[in-house]
Amino acid sequence: MNNLHAVYFSATDTTARCVRAICRGYASTPESEINLANDLDIPFRDFKENDVVVVAAPVYGGRLPAQVADSLKRLKGNGATAIATVVFGNRDYDDALLELTDLLIDRNFRIVGAGAFIGQHSIFPKVGVARPDAEDEKQLLSFGKECRLAVDRNVDTYPSLQIKGKRPYKKIVGIPLHPSAKAADCVKCGQCVASCPTGAISADSPYATNPEVCISCGRCIHVCSTGARRHGGAMYRIIGTLFKIGFSKRKESEWTVAK
């Protein structure tokens, strides 16, 4: 009997929705679920050989978000099986899935399946609009189901999997776009302060953002009930227009499961 677990980072809920669909396809409810966006500073966590862990992260600049990769290094696989998943905003996932599978193998996980799925772009929501949608959901369910069949048959795992990407991975490039809040619309509820995974917002002035620690994840916008926090400025509008032109054409998910 294999026990299912889920460890992921999801700031604006698309990765979390993908993980839930994979678990439904796998036909099991996770025994434990950790969203690293609630606490990047997790303690070291040991898994057992008969555990199956869905490990998922969004793609930032074609890579894993650096802080998320650091947190995932605290997982110890001890021969457990992993289902590696990245979620990207309809541009590209570049080296992120390869980086995730390399990291998990290094932490002594066996990879049974690896997939890259699409979520609405969390900085430019006019790209990948309303993804994952019904078609994505079907594919996520299939991925989960195929992984379950492979686990039940105890098939050989990675390196039989072909995963897109290059080593050394793409260089990490920071994104100079950070949301802030319009003071007139802010009711100082503190939701954004409590939810920011990197502590970039101070309770005294939730309108401002510390650009040195903000990772542009969009969580503060997602939780702000008055719509006060948002992206703005000329650079945001220009890049947003270029993204809409360049990356609106629908892309499809890609996945591979060990045979």
Which residues are at the interface with ligand SF4 (CB under 6 A)? 178-179, 181, 186-192, 196-198, 200-201, 206, 209, 214-220, 223-224, 226, 228-229
Q: Which is nearer to ligand SF4, 24 or 188 (CB)?
A: 188
Could you say which of ligand SF4, ligand FMN, none residue 89 binds, taking C-beta under 5 to 8 angstroms by partner kind?
ligand FMN
Binding site partner of 75, from ligand SF4, ligand FMN, none, Cβ cut-off 5-8 A by kind: none
Tokens (6 digits) for 21: 């669909």
- Report d(CA 75, CA 57) in Å as an integer: 14
Judged by CB, which is closer to ligand FMN: 16, or 150? 16
Which partner from the list ligand SF4, ligand FMN, none does 12 bind, CB cut-off 5 to 8 Å by kind? ligand FMN
| Closest to ligand SF4 by CB, 64 or 220 | 220
To ligand SF4, the closest distance from the beta carbon of 38 in angstroms equals 12
Smallest gap from residue 60 Cβ to ligand SF4 (A): 11
Q: In whole angstroms, how close is the CB of 130 to ligand SF4 at the nearest point?
A: 21
Tell me whether residue 89 or residue 113 sits nearer to ligand FMN (CB atom): 89
Mapping DSSP onto H, E and C, the string for the chain reads CCEEEEEECCCCCHHHHHHHHHHHHHCCCCCEEEECCCCCCCCCEECCCCEEEEEEEECECCECCHHHHHHHCCEECCCCEEEEEEEECCCCCCCHHHHHHHHHHHCCCEEEEEEEEECCCCCCCCCCCCCCCHHHHHHHHHHHHHHHHHHHHCCCCCCCCCCCCCCCCCCCCCCCCCCEECHHHCCCCCHHHHHCCCCCCCCCCCCCCCCCCCCCCCHHHHHCCCCCEECCCHHHHHHHHHHHHHHCCCCCCEEEECC
Q: Select the residue whose beta carbon is closest to ligand FMN and give its number.
A: 119
Q: Which of ligand FMN, ligand SF4, none interacts with 196 (beta carbon under 5 to 8 A by kind)?
A: ligand SF4
Q: Which residues bind ligand FMN (CB under 6 A)?
A: 10-15, 58-62, 87-92, 119-123, 175, 216-218
Pick one of ligand FMN, ligand SF4, none as the site partner of residue 231 (Cβ within 5 to 8 A by kind): none
User: Beta strands 110-118 and 81-88: pairing type?
Assistant: parallel
Chosen from ligand FMN, ligand SF4, none, partner binding at 111 (C-beta under 5 to 8 Å by type):
none
CB of 231 to ligand SF4, least distance (A): 9
In terms of CB distance, is 54 or 181 closer to ligand SF4?
181
Residues 208-221 as b or e (16 or more Cβ within 10 Å = b): ebeeeebbbbbbbb
